């Protein structure tokens, strides 16, 4: 019965089975011929015709391959050319890459016809580059504007300014094609980050993962104006800006943190020389933030500071019913060729304090020269600010002091002190000097402004 069943199938479907068995021969022929087609180029000497490949990349990718150790063809799993230890230059942005393994995936017919060489995609694997900050946007635009497929794996980039490193990106992964198109991942400061790029880099969203740090940048079509937002933990910054090759204008800027809130606008000129003009309006401030400033560390950057010229105006008027220590503040700070000039006016319990002077940052031991005056109309309220309760008359008191502070050595020298136009004696000057150094200036420069110390100093000299 079973034999009869198989005999019937064989008689009816014999032609079909013969066709199936015939296909296996076609498959073998196809497999062998395809394998030969893909593997034969392994024996070609591509180095002899590398100029054709180099010219193609200059024309189509605006990339110059300057040198490499060797070039090899690999057939599987996907046909490709691999250049080992290649030096590659992105011509438009003038960025040089050292690439350990540069993979080129040519179109199938290009394998045998280098005169008509065409590429489907390229991959930069294990590469390193120094990128000038001024060329960053140009390089980004060059990548995003390309229709050709480009991918970077394990890329390290040093962002530099005049050959000085600003910061470093590590282990970057990026591709301008696929489901992760225009997404950048990597590390910065040892932390993982992610960047999402909009079309033509007009929108950039930056996040350092699990850190609370983020920044968003939105540019107009001509990339001349835009909006920048950032968040670092509990600190927020938002600003509008206008930019051309010579100037950067910052408008509608607002900064808020736990200890400081302010509005500001700035004009930064790059050409023909660098100049900064800033107007800053402080809304809220907790003066304890100044304790975190290390003045000695700032002086270590004097070679960079000397390149900056700036004019800064700072105002502070506390809100009604706030617990601010001072009534208002007007401060002007100008910096030119390493010399800092300042002029400060503020009201404290309706008493006027004025001070001006300068500081040469380039001196080995910088001296802060000062010329200050105090007009005291209300002694009682002034002393109350410092929690000093003593009986005093209500006569107007005028104080003037002139001298200098040695910031690093923590010393003060008075040229003269006038109290209601009466010049203090040498003994008095010495007494004020010793009291100032022992009570106010026993630690760092900024510790001079600690209220507890000021209270002790006032209690000592009155």
**CA-only gyration radius of the chain, Å:** 36
Span 78-120, pLDDT tens digits: 888 999 999 999 988 888 999 999 999 998 878 887 788 889 9
Span 217-244, pLDDT tens digits: 888 767 678 888 998 878 899 999 888 7
pLDDT (mean) for 20-41:
59
Q: Which two tokens stand for residue 240?
A: 């509008």
Q: Is 444 part of a structural domain of the chain?
A: no
Q: Is 258 part of a structural domain of the chain?
A: yes
Q: Is 264 part of a structural domain of the chain?
A: yes
Q: Is 110 part of a structural domain of the chain?
A: no
**What are the counts of helices (DSSP H) followed by strands (DSSP E) for the chain?**
8, 24
Cα 315 to Cα 142, 202, 282, 344: the distances in Å are 43, 35, 6, 10
Q: Is 82 part of a structural domain of the chain?
A: no
Q: Is 263 part of a structural domain of the chain?
A: yes
Whether the per-residue pLDDT at 45 is higher than 50: the answer is yes
Distance CA 311, CA 267 (A): 10
pLDDT (mean) for 365-384:
85
pLDDT (mean) for 326-331:
86
Half-sphere exposure of 114 (CA within 13 A, CB side): 15
* Structural domain of 255: 235-285
Whether the per-residue pLDDT at 5 is higher than 50: the answer is no
- Domains of the chain: total: 1
Span 159-190, pLDDT tens digits: 887 777 888 899 999 988 887 787 899 998 88
What pLDDT does 103 receive? 94
3 state DSSP class of 407: coil
Q: Is 259 part of a structural domain of the chain?
A: yes
Residue 68: pLDDT band (50, 70, 90) is very high
Residue 384: pLDDT band (50, 70, 90) is confident
**pTM attached to this predicted model:** 0.67
Looking up tokens 């005056």 gives: 373
pLDDT (mean) for 332-359:
88
Whether the per-residue pLDDT at 432 is higher than 80: the answer is yes
Cα 239 to Cα 193, 205, 263, 292, 382: the distances in Å are 23, 15, 9, 25, 39
What pLDDT does 11 receive? 53
- Given its phi and psi angles, is residue 122 left (phi above 0), alpha (psi -120 to 50 degrees) or beta? beta
Q: Is 250 part of a structural domain of the chain?
A: yes
Angle between helices 451-461 and 426-435 (to 10 degrees): 150
Q: Which two tokens stand for residue 431?
A: 């007494």
């Amino acid at each position: 019965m079973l034999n009869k069943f198989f005999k019937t199938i064989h008689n009816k479907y014999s032609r079909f089975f013969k066709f199936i068995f015939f296909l296996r021969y076609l498959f073998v022929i196809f497999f062998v011929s395809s394998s030969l087609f893909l593997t034969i180029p392994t024996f070609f000497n591509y180095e002899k015709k590398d100029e054709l490949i180099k010219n193609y990349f200059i024309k189509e990718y605006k990339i110059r391959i300057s040198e490499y150790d060797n070039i090899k063809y690999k057939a599987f799993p996907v046909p490709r050319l691999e250049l080992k230890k290649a030096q590659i230059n992105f011509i438009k942005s003038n960025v040089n890459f050292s690439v350990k393994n540069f993979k080129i995936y040519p179109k199938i017919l290009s394998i045998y016809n280098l005169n008509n060489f065409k590429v489907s995609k390229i991959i930069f694997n294990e590469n390193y580059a120094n990128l000038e900050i001024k060329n960053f946007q140009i390089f980004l635009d060059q990548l995003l504007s390309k229709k050709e497929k480009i991918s970077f794996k394990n890329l390290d980039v040093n962002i530099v300014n005049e050959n000085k490193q600003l910061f470093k990106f590590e282990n970057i992964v990026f591709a301008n094609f696929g489901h992760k198109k225009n997404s950048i991942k990597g590390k910065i400061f040892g932390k993982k980050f992610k960047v999402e790029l909009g079309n033509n880099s007009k929108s950039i969203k930056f996040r350092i993962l699990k850190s609370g740090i983020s920044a968003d940048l939105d540019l107009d079509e001509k990339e001349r104006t835009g909006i920048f937002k950032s968040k670092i933990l509990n600190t927020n910054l938002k600003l509008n800006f206008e930019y051309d090759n010579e100037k950067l204008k910052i408008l509608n800027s607002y900064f808020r943190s736990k200890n400081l809130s302010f509005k500001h606008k700035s004009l930064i000129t790059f050409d023909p020389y660098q100049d900064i003009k800033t107007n800053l309006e402080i809304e809220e401030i907790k003066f304890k933030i100044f304790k975190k400033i290390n003045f000695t560390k700032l002086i270590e950057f004097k070679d960079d500071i000397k390149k900056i010229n700036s004019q800064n105006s700072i105002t502070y008027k506390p809100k009604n019913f706030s617990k601010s220590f001072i009534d208002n503040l007007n401060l002007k700070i100008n910096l030119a060729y390493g010399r800092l000039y300042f002029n400060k006016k503020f009201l404290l319990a309706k008493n006027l304090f004025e001070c001006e002077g300068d500081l040469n940052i380039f001196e080995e031991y910088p001296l802060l020269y000062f010329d200050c005056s105090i007009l005291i109309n209300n002694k009682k309220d002034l002393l109350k600010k410092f929690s000093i309760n003593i009986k005093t008359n209500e006569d107007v008191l005028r104080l003037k002091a002139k001298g200098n502070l040695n910031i690093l050595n923590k010393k003060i020298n008075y040229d003269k002190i006038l109290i209601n136009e009466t010049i203090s004696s040498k003994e008095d000057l010495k007494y004020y000097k010793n009291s100032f150094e022992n009570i106010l200036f026993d630690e760092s420069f900024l510790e001079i402004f600690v209220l507890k110390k000021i209270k002790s100093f006032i209690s000592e000299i009155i």
